Amino acid sequence: MTGYKGVIDHAEPDYTTGQRTLIARLEADLKVQLAHKQHRLAHSLSVASCAEGLALLYGVDPYEARLAGILHDWEKALDGEKIISRSRELGIDMGVDLELVAPLLHGIVAARELPARYPEVPPAVWHAVEVHTTAAAQMSPLDMVLFVADGIEPLRPKTPGIEASRALVGEVSLEDLFWESFVGGIIYVLKGSRYLWPGTIDTYNRLAASRNRAGAR
pLDDT score of 186 more than 50: yes
Q: What is the CATH number of the domain that holds 129?
A: 1.10.3210.10
Range of the domain at 34: 3-216
Q: Percent of the chain beyond pLDDT 90? A: 94
Tens of pLDDT, residue by residue over 164-179, are 999 999 999 999 999 9
The pLDDT tens digits for 107-166 are 999 999 999 999 999 999 999 999 999 999 999 999 999 999 999 999 999 999 999 999
Q: Is 46:155 a contact under the CB 8 Å cutoff?
A: yes
Average pLDDT over residues 45-66: 98
Say yes or no to pLDDT of 217 above 70. no
Q: How far apart are CA 208 and CA 12, in angstroms?
A: 35
Number of domains within the chain: 1
Q: Is residue 214 pLDDT above 90, yes or no? A: no
Burial of 172 (0-12, 13-18, 19+ CB in 10 A): middle
Mean pLDDT of 71-98: 97
Q: What sign has the CA pseudo-torsion 29, 40, 74, 139?
A: positive
pLDDT bucket at 215, cuts 50 / 70 / 90:
confident
